[in-house]
Structure 1
């Protein structure tokens, strides 16, 4: 579903306005997404507790259509993250807009994942106990790479996307349960499974269970990730967006303008009254 935002003109905007009016707004259903429609969207989001960004994406539309939104990220979740990290609410809103995928769950209710075959190749080579032989581990990884190159491979790739990524994960779990779960990125913020211990989860299964529960749990993992990196947290508090982007997105962050996007989103949200809802 396309996200509707300020400046859009379409039949879809007219339907949005109709749904907003059915929920107490008093808009002229003209199909033009102007200031009044944006304000009505934000007001509705605030009323039901959703992230109040003034854009009508799949989550807002689902709520307007009466669907279950209990798994979705709430404004209150971002407020709590702001207090915990000691940064402005606008900073957390900016991170959510730029660094999240916009949604943490697929239409079938499963969390968004991306299975990384090159990570699987590396995880298979890690010794699980003192008795493991490094040469044997490497040999097994190489053999599996020949047998199932879409699941185990020194090179990244093989992505299918959507629910098909869960099929790839299920196949990889048959090769090695733990390595497979650690080799996927999970949820709205795409936190890699192998970070589970560093982020304070008791096991990779504990981490995955959390990713199955809600987008609030996805945000929790993201907050733990920031807390675990003193330099990242320091840069975020100082609003040094280039450093934040470099530490979170890697050295190629400028290619996707992550720093510029973060700064612009922060300034935009800072201009709003983001208070407790």
Structure 2
């Protein structure tokens, strides 16, 4: 047995619970309780075995503002097993670590409102393993340091007293988004109206990063023409309708661009994207960017050292990807807290917010972790598309649809198997090389591409 941490043991082939108890010095009955083992004789390779109450039942809360900056010096309460634990957050926005009595313990998080009353902002069940409760303020940005209480101000607010006006030096808060709120995050809202190309209109309650905004402001309204499709097909030696079928499935048959913040002052056209948090985790994990393999697992539950510095933000950085909406509230051991929360759900309306928050942590990894444009090419494939950096790749993606076709051509030509499949209309291999081995269980890409191809052929579009 090789122990990977002083308080956690990862099961290896041939291990028994009795052997683990003997080696670790933790009594067998205690291991059974700490790990909720229904059948102690059945252990699976890679299963974490908790050796103490701290790792089995510990709880922390992380407080972030709308830009994912930690909120420092925030007074909080963690109410665990009916007992209130008071404290103030440090520079990292974290509460003190507390240990619950069992996995069934209730945990409530409270903070003070403007008049000093405690308000509950979150609640959960302890569960098994170290739990991090992340709470994000949708609009309010807190100052790094709280100002001293003015000597002349009353210690208890009265009906006549009003909170002091904010200092003139305080930065302006982002405007509140308009439209219907997205359930996963009120910072993002989606309007019901559509642009002339059928593009979605999305409001984000925070500003775009300056460099991304610059790319998007260079947008040109140049959709792909019939001549462009013909030239691309000739370059790739394939049928036009094969390429149109790929575009239809990847972009939903709509415009390759979305409208972000639809106001005269802030309106920009942004490429359609899909942010992938497991890419961001893999690219920022200390173990390197390699994915899991049968021979050498680099990432995943129970893998020693599989820890990105950004895993405190599991909504944008985690070992496994987002789940489908129908899986909401279901149990899932691969999630950071053992079940599927709203932050674990795939939601295209949130993709730019997730990208922006990841961009602040690691701009290059964030851009590589999204698929872009009409053909949804991953940023990580920038080199295969003929670009020297992911930044020039994104710049071209942001400019117009014609630039996106050039990137697609480079990507297909750099992948001989994909190019061969495109020329031969092998839908299985197109989907496999384009979307990975899980394409079938995800969305039946091969079937949808074939149906789209047949539609274009039949209707001579």
TM-score (normalizing by structure 1): 0.63
Could you tell me how far 1:119 is from its partner in structure 2?
0.8
**Residues 141 and 180 of structure 1: is their aligned pair in 2 closer, same or farther, counting only changes over 3 Å?**
farther
The aligned runs of 1:34-73 (5 Å cut-off) are: 59=196, 70-73=221-224
Residue 107 of structure 1: SS of its match in structure 2? Answer: strand
| Aligned with residue 453 of structure 2, among 243, 266, 277 | 266
| Aligned with residue 405 of structure 2, among 219, 229, 232 | 219
- Higher fraction of strand: 2
Could you tell me how far 1:105 is from its partner in structure 2?
1.0
Q: Is the 8 A contact 2:285 2:309 kept in 1?
A: no
Q: Give the distance between the partners of 1:121 and 1:61, measured in 2 at CA.
A: 33
Residue 179 of structure 1: SS of its match in structure 2? Answer: helix
The aligned runs of 1:1-277 (5 Å cut-off) are: 59=196, 70-101=221-252, 102-108=254-260, 109-125=269-285, 141-145=307-311, 147-157=312-322, 158=344, 161-162=347-348, 164-255=350-441, 256-271=443-458
Q: Which has the higher relative contact order, 1 or 2, with Cα contacts under 8 A spaced 6 or more apart?
A: 1
Residue 258 of structure 2: SS of its match in structure 1? Answer: coil
Structure 1 residue ranges without an equivalent (≥5): 1-56, 63-67, 129-133
Q: Is the 8 A contact 1:114 1:159 kept in 2?
A: no
The CA RMSD over aligned residues, in Å, is 3.1
Could you tell me how far 1:94 is from its partner in structure 2?
2.2
Larger Rg: 2
1:54 is aligned to none
Count of residues paired in the alignment:
204
Q: Give the distance between the partners of 1:245 and 1:262, measured in 2 at CA.
A: 8
1:9 is aligned to none
- Higher fraction of helix: 1
Q: Which moved more, 1:90-99 or 1:157-166?
A: 157-166
Could you tell me how far 1:195 is from its partner in structure 2?
0.8
Q: Give the distance between the partners of 2:347 and 2:430, measured in 1 at CA.
A: 27
Q: Give the distance between the partners of 1:165 and 1:120, measured in 2 at CA.
A: 13
Structure 2 residue ranges without an equivalent (≥5): 1-193, 200-218, 261-268, 290-297, 299-303, 323-343
